[in-house]
Chains A and B, each alone.
Chain A
Amino acid sequence: MTLDFGVVPSYSQLLFTGLLWTIFITVLAGSVSILLGIAIATTTLYGPKFASLPVRGISFLFLGTPLLLQLYLLYYGLSQVGVMLPAFWTGVVGLGLHYAAYNADIFRASLQAVDPGQAEAARSLGFSRGATQRLFIMPQAIVTALPQVGNNSIILLKDTAVLSVLGIAELVLNAQRAISETYRPFEFYFTAALLYYVVNLAMEFLLGIAARKAEEIR
């Protein structure tokens, strides 16, 4: 069997739609992972024991098991207890939760890395505890965390491919649809890989700019 990439262009719209969904899912799940990551880091660092211990335990479970298994557990397990979440939202939430556990570690380290003198100075100027955290500690920690959280977002982009097993029509599933009509797996998976690679490079480029900006602010 020879290769024939000639069949690919006629499916370009299908692939492009899939790519847009992939980017959309990356943005949604990425936002969930960052916001929740900050929430987990703050809870485990400053929260009361009865809150921080379970949160720490749950994020340990997320770090120690495969994403695919977590998605299945969410998708099938929730329906067992009567919660019917659509596949799309299961995927977004599952992916977001998974990377929130990874981002939380980074945010925690970044929060701890902020010079204690900063908080002391803000408190002595009369800022409340909450305002000190919000206006002085958190912004500095976010700047420190940015490069690594960005890296995680790039890894997250590639893991959106796993959502195809839940039947979410992103890039991989749309490539599979094209394959089922043409029986040309290599051509379509290769094209999909190429598209992921391009988005990946674009994200790396943007994060490089953001990281340089962050370095300037520091």
Chain B
Amino acid sequence: MDIQLIGRLLPHIMEASLLTIGLTACSLAIGLVVATAVAAGRFSRMRPIRWLATAYVSVMRGTPLLVQLFIVFFGGPQFRLDLTPFMAGVLTMGLNIGAYMSEGIKGAIISVDKGQGEASRSIGFGRFDTMRLFILPQAAPLIIRSLGVNTVILSKSTALVSTIGVVELTYSAQRFVTSTYKPFEVFAVAGAAYIAIVAVISLIVRGAEKLFDADRRVAA
């Protein structure tokens, strides 16, 4: 165990962590938009839209993220879609995690007692207002939790974009391994950085969950 090396690595690894956090944040932004659209699509009154949303989720969840990444990054240029590795990574991970997140949202909405929606509709609220005023607020804590779980998974998936040349945590760790030939120390430090990122995300999610649960108690 080379303690000195770990001390020298830390600042570099922290810098690389920033890119991992950036990848996570940008993918999350795309993922949330996709998830909202797809979840809305699954509750659409039009059958083709419902079918399309279901197919999207099935395909995105049914194929490996790594292959999706390669299709976009290496296959994209065949359609004149020349993306930088960072953009290809963020786009693919956003589209991918959006499918998983939409499932969480759908599950949370279904878990709300059916009577709530029926009651609201029967006293004259529209479909959209029913969702906005009654269903979503009750589903919120569950939605937050599933979004949180998926964000943790997403932050770890960002390691895959090292394979297309984005110098995030995993790739920069690999570079240090080739220059120092101390794989154990280097990967251990990188692993610690991932755990720190995951811990921070989990803390934020737990806080958000409490926030929404408190709202619920006040409302009741």
Contact = CB atoms under 8 A, between A and B. Distances in A.
A80 B59 contact: no
B74 A179 contact: yes
A193 B170 CA distance: 25
Contacts of A192: 67
A23 B58 CA distance: 20
Interface string A169-212: 00010000001000011110110110011001100000000000
A81 interface: yes
A189 B184 contact: no
Interface stretch (B33-41, B137-145, B187-195, B206-214): B187-195
B78 A73 contact: no
Interface residues of A, number: 38
A73 B190 CA distance: 10
Nearest to A164: B66
A193 B75 CA distance: 13
Chief secondary structure at chain A's binding surface: helix
Interface string B37-63: 000000000000000000000010011
A77 B71 CA distance: 31
Nearest to B157: A66
Given A3-B78, A66-B156, A69-B170, A189 B187 contact: no
A56 interface: no
Contacts, number: 117
Interface stretch (B107-115, B124-132, B159-167): B159-167
A77 B64 contact: no
A80 B182 contact: yes
B191 A186 contact: no
B78 A185 contact: yes
Contact of B173 (A69, A196, A201): A69
Contacts of A200: 62-63
Interface of A: 1, 3, 61, 64-70, 72-73, 76-77, 79-81, 158-162, 164-165, 172, 179, 184-187, 189-190, 192-193, 196-197, 200-201
25 contacts: A3-B78, A64-B199, A65-B156, A66-B157, A66-B159, A67-B156, A68-B159, A68-B160, A68-B162, A73-B191, A76-B184, A77-B183, A77-B187, A80-B183, A172-B66, A185-B70, A186-B74, A192-B67, A193-B64, A193-B67, A193-B68, A196-B63, A196-B64, A197-B62, A197-B63
Given A66-B159, A161-B65, 13 more contacts: A1-B77, A3-B78, A66-B158, A68-B159, A72-B173, A80-B181, A80-B183, A162-B160, A186-B75, A189-B70, A189-B71, A196-B62, A201-B62
